[in-house]
């Protein structure tokens, strides 16, 4: 991934008084799986549509493979698109659906057959070549839509919430398929989603968007462990914010409730905010060393884990997540201690 495949330079998009994209700079590298992540209305879909040519740019420019495409039509940008709706032709076979765009481009019939065969093998559905879309499951239809988009060998494959209409188990299966197909094709993928877990699972890098701007662009690991600000920390997974005073000479943060937490951070002395993940908080006995006392409020069992919500004396709610079923001895109202794994805390200067 050494070459810039897509360059977005100082792009602005305004709808009257509303600015949907605010002076955005973004490079998408060749062969990269990059995700635009954010809540509804953050500008992620508008940015994708501008790259695709479905929305005009108010100012700035967009380059694909080094070529300025800012004012080119979508068909002249050599991009593939996959949407939440499969948009397959129900009267055509799967093979005919995959080859439809190739025939529209008047490629030789032999080449079309070869590419269709290649795509059917890629999505592992060669046995369904003569079936029609209504005979396929939702997941199979989405794989066919993906194959149809890839058949034209686009410079970039753009995926706009493609898994949003599927149930959770099927979404997880299709995520595995997307990872495999991206790995096997080496194509450049631009993915749009509001689902944090999906973005973390699939992406090489993630651009977290808010209010038409990119709040942070980084790898999933960096976003999760070193968020640039409160918004990113809160948007990527669960988090509890704890304020305190950082003193470099002692290597401790003194929290608002008096606990001193050992830390290794590169910040100037002064107020800091600790973004604490539930998996970095461990349950302890009340009054245990280097822990803070609280009261157990709630326990929620999820697949393979239990999340404990504990209220501290100052009213702050902290979540702790542990493997396994909830401990039978623990009930709401039980006094309990919390120990913070300071080595894994994410920090941001206030």
Task: Give CA–CA dist 73/252, Å, rounded.
Answer: 57
Task: Give CA–CA dist 142/176, Å, rounded.
Answer: 13
Interval 302-316 mean pLDDT: 88
Q: Does residue 337 surpass a pLDDT of 60?
A: yes
Hey, which residues does 240 pair with through a beta bridge?
276
Q: In what order do the strands lie in the sheet with 346-349?
A: 260-262, 252-255, 240-247, 270-276, 346-349
Interval 143-168 mean pLDDT: 90
Residue-wise pLDDT tens digits, 63-111: 999 999 999 999 999 999 998 888 899 999 999 999 999 998 899 999 9
Percent of the chain predicted with pLDDT > 90: 63
- The reported pLDDT for the residue numbered 1 is 45
Residue-wise pLDDT tens digits, 232-289: 999 998 888 888 898 989 888 888 767 777 777 778 888 888 888 898 888 988 887 7
Interval 147-168 mean pLDDT: 90
Contact 193, 37 (CB under 8 A): yes
> Greater confidence, 320 or 303?
320
Structure tokens at 154: 């686009």
Task: Give CA–CA dist 59/57, Å, rounded.
Answer: 5
Outline where DSSP puts E strands in the chain: 4-15, 18-29, 33-37, 59-64, 67-68, 79-82, 156-160, 189-193, 205-210, 213-218, 240-247, 252-255, 260-262, 270-276, 281-284, 292-302, 305-311, 317-323, 335-340, 346-349
- The reported pLDDT for the residue numbered 307 is 92
- The alpha carbon torsion through 203, 198, 22, 19 (nearest 10 deg) reads 160
- The reported pLDDT for the residue numbered 304 is 82
Domains of the chain: 4-232 (3.40.50.300), 238-342 (2.40.50.140)
107 contacts: CB under 8 Å, gap ≥ 6: 115
- The reported pLDDT for the residue numbered 168 is 83
Mean residue pLDDT of the chain comes to 90
**Residue 258: Cβ-neighbour burial (10 angstroms; 0-12, 13-18, 19+):** exposed
Question: Is the whole-model pTM more than 0.85?
Answer: yes
């Amino acid at each position: 991934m050494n070459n810039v495949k897509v360059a977005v330079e100082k792009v602005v998009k305004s709808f009257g008084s509303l600015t949907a994209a605010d002076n955005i700079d973004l490079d998408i590298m060749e062969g990269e799986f990059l995700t635009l992540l954010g809540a509804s209305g953050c500008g992620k879909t508008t940015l994708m549509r501008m790259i695709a040519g479905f929305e005009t740019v108010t100012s700035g420019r967009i380059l694909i493979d080094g070529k300025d495409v800012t004012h080119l039509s979508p068909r002249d940008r050599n991009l593939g698109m996959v949407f939440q709706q499969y948009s397959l032709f129900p009267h055509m076979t799967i093979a005919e659906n995959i080859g439809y765009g190739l025939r529209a481009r008047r490629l030789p019939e032999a080449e079309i057959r070869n590419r269709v065969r290649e795509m059917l093998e890629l999505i592992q559905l060669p046995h369904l070549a003569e079936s029609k879309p209504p005979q396929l499951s939702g997941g199979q239809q989405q794989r066919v839509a993906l194959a149809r988009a890839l058949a034209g060998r686009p410079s970039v494959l753009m995926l706009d919430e493609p898994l949003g209409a599927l149930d959770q188990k099927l979404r997880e299966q299709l995520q595995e398929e997307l990872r495999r197909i991206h790995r096997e094709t080496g194509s450049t993928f631009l993915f749009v989603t509001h689902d944090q877990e999906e973005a973390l699972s699939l992406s090489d890098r993630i651009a977290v968007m808010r209010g038409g701007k990119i709040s942070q662009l980084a790898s999933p690991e960096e976003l999760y462990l070193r968020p640039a600000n409160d918004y990113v920390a809160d948007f990527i997974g669960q988090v509890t914010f704890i304020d305190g005073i950082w003193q470099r000479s002692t290597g401790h943060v003194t929290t608002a409730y008096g606990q001193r937490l050992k830390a290794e951070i590169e910040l100037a002395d002064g107020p800091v905010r600790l973004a604490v993940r539930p998996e970095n908080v461990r349950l302890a006995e009340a009054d245990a060393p280097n822990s803070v006392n609280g009261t157990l409020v709630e326990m929620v069992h999820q697949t393979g884990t239990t999340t404990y919500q504990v209220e501290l004396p100052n009213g702050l709610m902290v979540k702790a997540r542990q493997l396994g079923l909830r401990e039978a001895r623990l009930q709401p109202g039980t006094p309990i201690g919390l120990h913070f794994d300071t080595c894994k805390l994410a920090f941001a200067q206030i």
